[in-house]
Structure 1
Amino acid sequence: MKRRSLEPLQPRALAEEGLCRALLAMRDVGEMRAFLRDLCTPAEVEALVDRWSVVPHLLAGTPYREIHDLTAVSITTVGRVARYLNHGNGGYLAAAARAQQSRRPRRAAGVNLEPCLSRRAVDTSTKSGKPRRATGASTKPGKPRRATVVPA
């Protein structure tokens, strides 16, 4: 008879850890690209690329509308990335810092992230500094929303 643990297995958490380990096991950009293309649909890869392309612009304090004009990423997606950049788990900042370190000779999208590496971006579109919910308000004319970098 099999011995059973007193703690219930958490298959979802174990699967997530396995995925993280698989991502970490990729040795170079080519392997990672192949893995992502096998793992995700083209639309899912495009969504990931869109989100990642917004990060340097948000860290540089570029207004949401300008980011949309530069990247063709929807303002809703820009706001979502800003929300997770500000109030998420720190993954975007860690990845941006490591990506910046690994490509010192060339700059991504002409944006220097060095001043932002030990700071966090804050959405200053509201008086409280908390990001607004994604609504139709972001498409109305007026003062563009801007993510600024402040000391952590």
Structure 2
Amino acid sequence: MVKIGKKEKNDQLYKAILMLKDEQECYEFFQDLCTVSELRAMEQRFEVASLLNDGMIYNEILERTGASSATISRVNRSLSYGTGAYERLFARMKEKKQ
């Protein structure tokens, strides 16, 4: 998988995200930053990743989320060959639940 290098101009956005204090601030920031369709697309991809991580099959995910098979496939590639960010986040979320 080709990794996209960081660009100087991108650093500010990621540093800003890390400064958000709680879920409400995060929600408000992304509401201001993104269009409704961009937010829905990211929310859908995250849900697909979570369901794939839980072992759900493509057809069930498609039915449950309405995501296209191309989206499900892309997310699956990220889970399999990506940076491991999804897995780290899912592990942290699972830890926090317990």
TM-score by length of 2: 0.86
- Higher Rg of the two aligned structures: 1
Corresponding residue of 1:150: none
Distance in 1, matches of 2:93 and 2:12, equals 23
Distance in 2, matches of 1:101 and 1:74, equals 30
Distance in 1, matches of 2:86 and 2:10, equals 18
Any idea what the Cα deviations from partners look like across 1:107-138, whole Å, max 9, x if unmatched? Answer: xxxxxxxxxxxxxxxxxxxxxxxxxxxxxxxx
The runs of at least 4 aligned residues of structure 1 exceeding 4 Å deviation read none
Aligned residues: 93
Distance in 1, matches of 2:52 and 2:81, equals 14
Whether 1:43 aligns to 2:37 is yes
Write out aligned runs for 1:17-96 (5 A). Answer: 17-96=11-90
How far 1:98 sits from its partner (Å)? 1.9
- Classify the secondary structure of the residue corresponding to 2:8: helix
Q: Which runs of 5+ in 1 are unaligned?
A: 1-11, 106-152
Q: Which runs of 5+ in 2 are unaligned?
A: 1-5
Corresponding residue of 1:99: 93
Whether 1:16 aligns to 2:27 is no
TM-score by length of 1: 0.57
Corresponding residue of 2:3: none
Distance in 1, matches of 2:32 and 2:62, equals 28
Structure with greater helix percent: 2
